[in-house]
Structure 1
């Protein structure tokens, strides 16, 4: 018997309250769900940033192509370097961007930063259509006049810079995610506590009845129909048990009196 009581006590110690049980599990579920959604959103933002920056690089390549087309003649204007630097600041482009202008035969005419023909061949593929390294992407625009190809303009950027997200945006996104997790947990905690209170009172009242104290009162009222019915049924059960105990006491007292008379 003593061993059985010890086992029951150990089992009771291992059990957690309703409030802790549900809030912890809901917190885990919400955290996993929000983190998964945040990672998916973060990936989508990086993809959109890469696409938008490639489009911006394409627009810059087209603008440079228009600048070097001097009435059907490919000529690099002296203000091309300042123009590129101005566009970098305006479009918030990174400094690792590389601009290359080639002639119709693929020869190097201009580069920023400055490089020689051999270095240009290392940066571009054999067909002069894209970047040679898989870590870089190239946006290109043809320089043409009257349907005649005069040359090409390439704007190269690393994939890392294309998908770069400013630190301030990452911090803001992280704070927003933590705020959502905290708000969700607080909402679940308040709801779970509201649902757990009447159940805890019923459990406490049941413990009192198990000890032979039938005069228990449940003052808790609930707007939820299920919990309200539970409280009402328990009150009715406690009242009937009280009546049965009172009847049993009267019967025992009557039997005892009859035995004494005999």
Structure 2
């Protein structure tokens, strides 16, 4: 049971919100990295321009005779070049001679704090590309030697503060627009796909609610490309069809069981009432009593079938396995069944190998299954029909086929014949029963470690196959 705070939300809302949060986190990370990269690119650009300016200064300071020239003329030329090259006005320029003595500085008047630290800064500039002042400001350093031929005449040192590195406003605007566009596009895409994903699931939920209300005629026929969603919808549709079939069988079962149980009770009641009222007497009364006894036994058999089936379904019936010669067992079962059926004109042909096959099995349960299959075959063929019973061995198991030449089972009913209480259209109006025989027999076969299947069925007849494991048979063959 969900509380108010833990109430589930729709698939569309759930995944859209979570994707949007993930997208925003990702875009923030991308924005931070992009901003850092833009700042790095701006710094590299500023350094490159400053290096070009340092080379320009070095060319201007040294004349053709190898003399270092400083003065008002140099100041004017450098100011013009700074404006032309776009070098920031906060740039500090120093020229040292070959002895490391300061012979020129621009601007001439330095701030007091910088003036105090200047000697130390110039010494540090020899080894570092960045300098940190006492007030925390960072200065970038660009150096260029003054050369004349192979001789070094001095050095040009340029310092500019980190705060002068300006990131272009347009670049930041482009970044914000790009990230915003990606965010909107990403949200729109996940919203569209989440909505598309949730629609077939919502259809399944709606259909499930209809089934809960007792309406099994639901339609879920949308074409879905996603394999997992397609399998979900297709499996649900199969389940709905299955439930509709089972509901139909249940309704028919209720009517059938009521009818089957009511008929002998009504007959017994009428016959006993006739005897009690002395409507009949003598031999006729004895005949009525015999009919009552038969109907009572038939009623008892149906009730026992119901009880046995329910007990077996919950695993309450034990199977007592023992070593058996399967060839002999099948031959005896066929012979016993044949004796009972001879008077009805049904012909049973057996094909049982003479080779002894020993397996671990419950003979009583095997007999139950085979007798039920033979009785069903007898009901399918009518008078003068033919039944074939064959025992054979495959690579993995032992099999017993029961084949008849009756009219077969309709194709649309073949998938339902092992359902409990299902009775085919060929039998329900001709043979009275509860429709538990095949279902019960299959459950027994599975408990024995095997199976019971419909091998084939057509208008030429049907073949059922009873499968048994052959572990003991393999041990005998190896010994």
2:132 equivalent in structure 1: 133
By how many angstroms is 1:63 displaced? 1.0
> How well do the aligned residues superpose, as a CA RMSD in angstroms?
3.0
* Aligned residue among 87, 94, 100 for 2:88: 94
* Aligned residue among 227, 230, 237 for 1:228: 230
Q: 1:189 to 1:101 in 2, by over 3 A?
A: same
In the alignment of these two chains, the number of paired residues is: 254
Q: 1:145 to 1:178 in 2, by over 3 A?
A: same
Q: 1:226 to 1:120 in 2, by over 3 A?
A: same
2:253 equivalent in structure 1: 251
Q: Deviations over 1:14-38 (max 9, x none)?
A: 1111112122222222322232233
Q: Of the two, which has the highest radius of gyration?
A: 2
1:61 equivalent in structure 2: 54
Q: Does 1:30 align with 2:31?
A: no
User: Structure 1 or 2: larger helix share?
Assistant: 1
2:42 equivalent in structure 1: 49
1:131-210 mapped onto 2 (5 Å cutoff): 133-134=132-133, 135-162=138-165, 164-210=166-212
What is the TM-score normalised by the length of structure 1? Answer: 0.81
Contact 2:124–2:131 (CA<8 Å) still a contact in 1?
no
In structure 1, the gaps of 5 or more residues are 1-6
1:211 equivalent in structure 2: 213
Contact 2:131–2:141 (CA<8 Å) still a contact in 1?
no
Q: Indicate the structure whose relative CO is greater, using CA pairs within 8 Å and at least 6 residues apart.
A: 1
By how many angstroms is 1:222 displaced? 0.9
1:114 equivalent in structure 2: 108
What is the TM-score normalised by the length of structure 2? Answer: 0.47
2:10 equivalent in structure 1: 17
Runs of 4+ in 1 over 4 A off after TM superposition: 116-121, 253-262
By how many angstroms is 1:178 displaced? 1.7
Q: Deviations over 1:86-112 (max 9, x none)?
A: 444444433321222233344443333
Contact 2:53–2:82 (CA<8 Å) still a contact in 1?
no
Q: Deviations over 1:191-239 (max 9, x none)?
A: 1111111011101111111121222222422122332232222222212
Contact 2:125–2:141 (CA<8 Å) still a contact in 1?
no
Q: 1:198 to 1:54 in 2, by over 3 A?
A: same
2:419 equivalent in structure 1: none
By how many angstroms is 1:250 displaced? 3.4
Q: Which moved more, 1:136-145 or 1:40-49?
A: 40-49
SS at the partner of 2:219? coil
SS at the partner of 2:143? strand
Q: 1:74 to 1:133 in 2, by over 3 A?
A: same
In structure 2, the gaps of 5 or more residues are 267-479
2:33 equivalent in structure 1: 40
Q: 1:25 to 1:91 in 2, by over 3 A?
A: farther
Contact 2:91–2:159 (CA<8 Å) still a contact in 1?
yes
SS at the partner of 1:73? coil
Q: 1:24 to 1:83 in 2, by over 3 A?
A: farther
